[in-house]
Chains A and B, each alone.
Chain A
Amino acid sequence: GNSVTQMEGPVTLSEEAFLTINCTYTATGYPSLFWYVQYPGEGLQLLLKATKADDKGSNKGFEATYRKETTSFHLEKGSVQVSDSAVYFCALSDRKDDKIIFGKGTRLHILP
């Protein structure tokens, strides 16, 4: 079946550091890929998405590129801020399967 694997946290960085959170997936069909962010005490909200190979999703300085050859969708940001501290989830939806699969989440701490 489909699955999503993302790097375990917590990840602790200093403000203005470069961020990468790895996400790889397995899927039998042609999935869409998503990154969601969960701020403390809140529900998840979409950060960015990509619906086909080589698409790049971007939002709020974050980027991720859908790499079919490596089955990856790594999240990157060039200069993180304290306000980026949150839990980040990689997710997959596949038109051959109505279920939506989430990774386990990566907690990010940004130090001032």
Chain B
Amino acid sequence: EAQVTQNPRYLITVTGKKLTVTCSQNMNHEYMSWYRQDPGLGLRQIYYSMNVEVTDKGDVPEGYKVSRKEKRNFPLILESPSPNQTSLYFCASSPLLRTGGVYNEQFFGPGTRLTVL
């Protein structure tokens, strides 16, 4: 089954304790992305990756890191989480079109609800 998986689905942690949220897709997509969803703010892009070893900042990258060592995986790292990073996080993937970057739909994971105390 084609899918994007995220782990963990729920996480409660404390300020300053490093954590990683994993994301994996089995559709051989080039493009992967992380979003956070907050009430009243909608979905905001944190980081994205066009392919292996190619990552770039989205609109709200502060306090986050990512890596793309393999095509299928795109982990989100919070090296020193703070309470303002309490949010619902989504990973998504998408194939890139060869005609020049007009993207197809994105496929979303089920979300990770993170609480930082």
Q: Which residues of A contact B (CB under 8 A)?
A: 30, 32, 34, 36, 42-46, 49, 51, 89, 93, 95, 98-105
Within B19-61, the residues touching A (CB, 8 Å) are 33, 35, 40-45, 48, 50, 56, 58-59
Q: Does B95 contact A (CB under 8 A)?
A: no
Interface pairs (12), CB distance under 8 Å:
A42-B111, A43-B4, A43-B109, A44-B43, A44-B90, A44-B108, A51-B102, A93-B102, A99-B45, A99-B58, A100-B106, A105-B43
Please name the 3 residue pairs, one residue from A and one from B, whose CB atoms are nearest each other, closest first.
A104-B42, A43-B108, A46-B105
CB within 8 A of B44: which of A36, A44, A102? A102
Cβ A99 vs Cβ B48 within 8 A:
yes
B1 to chain A, nearest CB (A): 14
Please state if A105 and B90 are interface contacts (CB–CB under 8 Å): no
Chain B interface (Cβ < 8 Å from any Cβ of A): 4, 33, 35, 40-45, 48, 50, 56, 58-59, 90, 92, 100-103, 105-106, 108-111
**Chain B residue contacts of A89, Cβ below 8 A:** 42-43
**Which of B41, B42, B58, B109 counts the most chain A CB atoms within 10 A?**
B42
Alpha-carbon gap, A46 to B41, bound state (A): 20
Q: How close is A102's CB to chain B, nearest CB, in angstroms?
A: 4
Pair count A-B, CB < 8 A: 55
A104 with B40: in contact, given A44-B90, A99-B59 (CB under 8 Å)? yes
In this complex, what residue of B is CB-closest to A44? B108
Q: What's the Cα separation between A102 and B44 when bound, in Å?
A: 7
A95 with B48: CB separation less than 8 A: no
Cα distance A8–B110 when bound, in Å? 24
Q: Which of A42, A49, A102 touches B43 (beta carbons < 8 Å)?
A: A102
Give min CB distance, B5 to chain A, whole Å: 11
